[in-house]
Amino acid sequence: MRAAARRCEWMIDVGAGHGELCLFFLKHSRARPVVAIEPQASERELMRRNLALNGCESSEALVWVSKLIGLDDGPEFVPLAKLPVDNTRHGFIKIDVDGAEMEVLRSGETMLATTAVDLLVETHSLPLEQECLSYLKGLGFDCRIIPNAWWRSIVPEHRPIGHNRWLWASRSEPSAKTKRVT
């Protein structure tokens, strides 16, 4: 994460929640803008409080988006590829959307296929994890699964789902041979 923060020039947090990752990038990176995607008003309010507690409540670098990220044409949706970042610069994207990972990724295909970017994606089922890996590898990304912490065998997460892991995908330069994966 620190290496991604050093090299990125913009950051998108899809499913920003309380904003911890946005705060980290605001305070410890040159990422501008930091785009916080959070459709839930209660989460945005907690994020605002967290920003205030950390002296970032009026940061001009922070861009708020209260819509869902996806391919739907409805007014409550925006595609990942339409967010206000400079795709000619290196970026970082975190996706934590509880099952809609592929919808988010597909909505950013044009951006992902042509941009140097690091991705951190939380997956919520093994088939979804495999689909995300296959999709990102097809776009030219190097991917790896981040193993759960060793101590999770002692202190397990109490989630209503059986599978929860993170995958890391990175590409330092857009691939000239990027193929379209559908």
Could you give all domains of the chain from N- to C-terminal order, each with its CATH number?
2-171 (3.40.50.150)
Task: Give the pLDDT confidence score for residue 124 in this predicted structure.
Answer: 87
Dihedral sign, Cα of residue 138, residue 139, residue 144, residue 146: negative
Contact 124, 161 (CB under 8 A): yes
- pLDDT tens column, 109-134: 999 999 999 999 999 899 999 999 99
Task: Give the pLDDT confidence score for residue 182 in this predicted structure.
Answer: 39
Report d(CA 14, CA 65) in Å as an integer.
9
pTM: 0.89
Report d(CA 60, CA 18) in Å as an integer.
18
